Amino acid sequence: MGSIRPIFAGMKWNRILGHNRVKRLLSTALRTGRLPQALLLTGPEGVGKNGLALALASAVFCESPSDDDTLVDSCGTCRSCMQMAHLAHPNLRIIHALPAGKGDTDDEMKAELIDDIRSMLEATSENPYSPLRPDGATQIRIGQIREIKRSLSMSAMQAGRRLVLLSEAHEMTIEASNAFLKTLEEPHPDTILVLTSSKPERLLQTIVSRCQELQVAPLDDADIHHYLISELACTSEDAALVAPFAQGSISKAQAFLAEDMRGYRQDIVDLLRTTAKPRDFRADLVARIHDIADGRNKTRMEYMLSLLLLWLRDAHALALVGPEAHIVNSDQREALSRFAAAFADADFGGMYRAIERASNALSRNVTPVLVLLPLLLGIRRALFASRSKAAA
C-alpha cells in the first residue's frame, strides 16, 4: 500500500484506530486473568474487529508484554511478536470463509487457493483492516471447524495459550455452526476463541449466548481522515473527500479511494450546471443523464448521490454562514461560493428530500436514468422555488 512500516512493530493495539473502551476492557481481562473463553466482536465491516483480535492475540502470546495500567500491550520485538507480525504464530489459528468448491479436490486449484490465502495474510499483516477472506469466498465449512477441533485436542503438542480467530463467523454453514457449538460447549483450557461478525443476527443464538459480546463501533470521520493520510498516503483533499462517505469503515474508505471520486464529482457539478440553466435545459439534461447513467452500476450511482448531497450541503453552508463555513469540498470553494451566491434562496431541504427519494428508488433497483431524471427535475424546482413564488 505504499506506506513503509517496520514489520517488527507487530500487532500492537495502536495499529487499530480508536476503540479505546474495547482495548481497555480486553487489557483488564488479560491483566486479571479473566479473559472469557469465547469472545464475540460485532460491528460493521472495516472498523478493525479482526485487527483487535490479532492485537489481543499478540498481547496474549508476547514474552514481555507492557502494562501501563490502561493497556496490556505486546512488546513488538520478542520472538512471539515477530511471529505475530507475519501472522505466523504457531498458537494462532485463523478461520475464514473459503470459495465454494475451491480447494476441495483438484490439486491445482488447491495450490492456487494456498497462494490466495498467503497473500491475504500478508495483506492483513501489513494492513490489519484488510479483509480476511480470499477472493470469491462464500462460507466457512464443517471441515475447517473439524480441523480446529483436531488441533485443539492435541494440546500437549504446543506450549502456552492459543487463540482461534473465527473471522466473520456468521459465514459458517449450518453444519459448521453445529460443530462449532460443540467446541464452545467443551472449553479447552488455555484456548481463547474470538469470533468476529458484521452480521451477528445470522449466527446461531446458541453460539451468541455462549460468547461474551463486545460491540466495535464505526470510527469517526477524523480517525478515517487521519488513517487515509498516514497509512494510505492520501492527500488531505482526497482524505476530506472520502472520509465522509466511509461511514466509519476503513474498508469502505478504501473502496471509495479505488473509485474515480473526482470524476464522479465533476459529473455531478456538470449535471447541476445543466439543471440550473435558466432555459432550454431539457435536451441537454437528458443527454447528460444518459451519458452519466451509461455503465454506472448501482453502487457507483449511490456514490454519485452521496457526492451530490455533500456538494449541496457545502453550498448550503456557504449560503447560510458565508465564506467562513466549514466545507468538505474545500478544493471547490470558488465554484461552490458562486453556486451559493446564485441560489442562496433555494429550497435546500427540497433538494435533500429529492436525493433521498432517488436513493430509495435506487435501492428498489430502479434504472439509473429513471432515478436521475426525476431527481434533477426536483432539484430544479427547488433551485428556483423562491423565484417562482416571487413571480406568482
Whose Cβ is closer to Zn ion: residue 75's or residue 255's?
75
62 binds Zn ion (CB under 5 A): yes
Q: How wide is the angle at C-alpha 104 spanned by C-alphas 99 and 106, nearest 5°?
A: 110
Quote the cell numbers at residue 287. Answer: 443527454
Whose Cβ is closer to Zn ion: residue 61's or residue 343's?
61
Chain positions 190 to 219 lying near Zn ion, rule: CB under 5 A, are none
What binding mask, one character per residue, do residues 308-347 give for Zn ion by CB under 5 A, x or -?
----------------------------------------
Whose Cβ is closer to Zn ion: residue 60's or residue 132's?
60
Whose Cβ is closer to Zn ion: residue 81's or residue 140's?
81
123 binds Zn ion (CB under 5 A): no
Task: Tell me which stretch binds Zn ion (CB under 5 A): 71-79, 127-135, 153-161, 174-182.
Answer: 71-79
Smallest distance from Zn ion to CB 75, Å: 3
Whose Cβ is closer to Zn ion: residue 31's or residue 357's?
31
Type of residue found at 159 = A
Task: Tell me which stretch binds Zn ion (CB under 5 A): 1-9, 59-67, 188-196, 344-352.
Answer: 59-67
- Binding-site size for Zn ion (CB under 5 A) equals 5
Q: How wide is the angle at C-alpha 225 spanned by C-alphas 221 and 226, nearest 5°?
A: 120
Smallest distance from Zn ion to CB 77, Å: 6
Chain positions 72 to 111 lying near Zn ion, rule: CB under 5 A, are 74-75, 78, 81
CB of 311 closer than 8 Å to CB of 352 = no
Smallest distance from Zn ion to CB 193, Å: 22
Give the span between the Cα atoms of 167 and 165, in whole angstroms.
6
Q: Do β-strands 38-42 and 191-197 pair in parallel, antiparallel, or remain unpaired?
A: parallel
Whose Cβ is closer to Zn ion: residue 25's or residue 75's?
75
Quote the cell numbers at residue 346. Answer: 433555494
Q: Report the 10 Å Cβ neighbour count for 35.
A: 20
Task: Tell me which stretch binds Zn ion (CB under 5 A): 48-56, 61-69, 139-147, 306-314.
Answer: 61-69
* Count of residues in the chain: 392
Residue 72 β-bridge partners: 67
Whose Cβ is closer to Zn ion: residue 81's or residue 346's?
81
Whose Cβ is closer to Zn ion: residue 74's or residue 198's?
74
Task: Tell me which stretch binds Zn ion (CB under 5 A): 33-41, 54-62, 98-106, 261-269.
Answer: 54-62
Give the span between the Cα atoms of 198 and 377, in whole angstroms.
38
Which residues lie closer than 8 Å to 392 by C-beta, 6 or more apart?
Answer: none
Smallest distance from Zn ion to CB 57, Å: 11
Type of residue found at 143 = G
Give the span between the Cα atoms of 20 and 42, in whole angstroms.
15
Q: CA distances (Å), 206 to each of 28, 32, 353, in order?
A: 27, 27, 42
Q: CA distances (Å), 268 to each of 231, 255, 292, 376, 385, in order?
A: 29, 19, 9, 11, 21
Smallest distance from Zn ion to CB 27, Å: 15
Q: How wide is the angle at C-alpha 385 spanned by C-alphas 384 and 389, nearest 5°?
A: 115
Report residue 309 CA to chain centroid gap: 21
Task: Tell me which stretch binds Zn ion (CB under 5 A): 56-64, 206-214, 309-317, 347-355.
Answer: 56-64
What binding mask, one character per residue, do residues 132-151 give for Zn ion by CB under 5 A, x or -?
--------------------
Tell me which residues touch Zn ion (CB under 5 A): 62, 74-75, 78, 81
